[in-house]
Structure 1
Amino acid sequence: MTGWAIVTPVKPLGQAKSRLRATLPASVAFLSGPDPLGALEAPDEPGDWHAEVALAMASDTVAAMLAAPRVDRVVVVTDDPVAAAALSALGAVCVPDAPGGGLNPALRHGASVAALLGGSDGRGSRGTAALGADLPALRTADLDAALRAVERLGVRAFVPDAAGTGTTLLAAPGRTPLDPAYGPGSALAHASAGAIDLTAVADGSGVGPSIRRDVDTAADLAAARALGLGPRTAALLAPIGSAFPAGRAAC
């Protein structure tokens, strides 16, 4: 076997992170144009700072996934052309949300694409996982440790979010179906369907905090800041001032 295939959905940027839009005011200091790292393209809607934040978070999350030694391939399911271009440039395989039926159908579609690609080149044959694109503090070591734990268990497993009710990572080793059940109370739904909660395993399975810290609100973003934001998100938020950090150390 080689490594893992990760499937991640990305909403159209103008619709992404509605709760974050409601709790994080647009920065009056935000300057239009390329970000300081030259890594982002401006969204279709000029001046949509929240869309830029959503893209920066997705870019940092996908970059961390791709840098993980245990990950062979990242399949992004999105209908947003700007997100697809930016994430493809990082090395992800981007496919349209052909089902168009919400999060779980998108994940099943992405898993099917990953299986087809893995069948042709063998990459991603260790298993398939779903991971959100809203983990801007994600560390490759935390992702690798979680995937290693799933390999040891040999069964479908998940990582609950920081609140304990949602799911950030769902992983199915080998040919085990991903069978996603995201939505309100997804942690309980995945556990009820037989998936193992990695945080409940006796040795803790090395589940680091960055893999649990998804961002839906400004408070979540502040918590991610405390862990250390990825470079694109940190650079975009830098004009706000001391409320956000300059970045994080290399993983």
Structure 2
Amino acid sequence: MPIHPTAIVDPKAEIDGTASIGPYSVIGPEVKIGARTTVGAHAVIEGRTTIGQDNRIFHFASLGGIPQDKKYAGEPCELVIGDRNTIREFSTFNIGSPGGGGVTRVGNDNWLMAYVHLAHDCVVGNNTIFANNSQLAGHVEVGDFVILGGFTVVHQFVRIGAHGMTAMCSLLFADQPPFVMSQGQPAQARSMNFEGLRRRGFSAGRISAVKAMHKALYRDGLTLEDARARIEQLATATPEAQPDVRLMSDFLAGVSPQRGIVR
């Protein structure tokens, strides 16, 4: 597939022979683009950016720009994007920063709609959906299968656990545990993402365990520590839910006392 003659591709860039670069796009010298990835018109990919296979990058995307961090002084930080991602128009993904590990990372099979922003040092898992104008500040972590409603805004250092979901225009200042659905400004936990879990093949027993997690976290007035202890007991009561219990327990273990979880 061709590199359009109007594209400006630095000769030091590593572009797989099956990738395509659209009209008027600009590709910097430290960029690597894998097999069958397509880059639309007027996109800019710069910095130390590595992009895997079979990605679709639409026109006017800006990937690999320096962090919007006044402390950044030109250090060799990176943006790493996996395989089979769809990155829609006007999305902006920045490289990492020295204070956050130096890498902004996107996994595989993500669907990232128009105007999505990933600030420095964000980590996005696999199979996520970010609706239009979802905005992540620096150091945000997003687990697998998360769905962000349009115009969701996430404060720096916040974590969103796997299988979670936010409603449109949600504003997250606190960690959102796995499976939780939240809504509001600031966001509050509304329920668990039961329909999403059913669509992903969760058994009735696993969903019942997730309901019990919700009760421990949000219904019974427990401290976070006590809720975690009760949730860990579910692994014995429902052996098939052991991976889900471990996912929740590990997430809760990393909650900052200053930040807490969405309530």
Q: TM-score, normalised by structure 1?
A: 0.31
Which protein is richer in strand relative to its size? Answer: 2
Which protein is richer in helix relative to its size? Answer: 1
Higher relative contact order (CA 8 A, sep 6+): 1
